[in-house]
Amino acid sequence: MGNGKALVDANFKTLRAGWGATSSAWERDHGGYGMPESTLYDSDFYAWANEQAALLRAGQLSAADIANIAEEIESMGRSEKRELVIRLTVLLMHLLKWRFQPLLQGPSWRATIRIQRSDVADHLADNPSLKAQLPEAIARAYGKAVMEAAAETGLPEATFPTACPWSFDDIVSEAFWPESERH
């Protein structure tokens, strides 16, 4: 643990300088580690994150801001789910445009669909547990895709199916291109 403590001490020595704390007061008030979590967490997230990483690497769990670390980890999970919904929204919106505006189909739409399919597949490969969230993610994404497709095409929202008409396998299949409906 000697090397870990040295790493933490070195990181905090740098951080302390910016906080204006003297070494002796710092050691007395904080046992040599960290400034009060809520203060740093609220005022300088980057410094807080580096501090917490150093504490965890050094095995100094008792000095770590466990509550905020847990919140940030949960927030990262929510961000991954949001990313999936965003990618599906763009993909579904372009599939809707492909289906409902066949005369405007072009290489740009095709490229966007192919790229989003690839990005969705990559995201799920990086986060396989999100597969269990697909029904909810597709439903959320489809609702947004309808609004965006209506705005971009000028077609009324009622033109589009109320629920996603395609399975996930179709949505991400390179071979799937929705049949056109002329309006």
Measured CA to CA, the distance from residue 14 to residue 35 in angstroms comes to 12
Q: Closest Cα to residue 52, out of 71, 70, 33, 65? A: 65
Give the predicted TM-score (pTM) of the model.
0.72
Q: Count CB-CB contacts under 10 A for residue 76.
A: 9
Taking the C-alpha atoms of residue 174 and residue 166, their distance in angstroms, rounded to an integer, is: 14
How many angstroms separate the CA atoms of 168 and 16, rounded?
52
Enter the tokens of residue 152.
Answer: 């971009």
How crowded is the C-beta side of 152, counted as CA atoms within 13 Å?
17
Rounded to an integer, the average pLDDT of 168-174 is 97
Q: 3-class SS at 8?
A: helix
Over residues 15-68, the pLDDT tens digits come to 444 444 333 333 444 444 444 445 788 889 899 999 999 999 999 999 999 999
Sorted by where each begins, the domain ranges of the chain are 2-64, 76-172
For residue 24, the Cα-to-chain-centroid distance in whole angstroms is 41
In this prediction, residue 39 carries a pLDDT of 74
Half-sphere exposure of 109 (CA within 13 A, CB side): 20
**Predicted confidence (pLDDT) at residue 147 exceeds the cutoff of 60:** yes
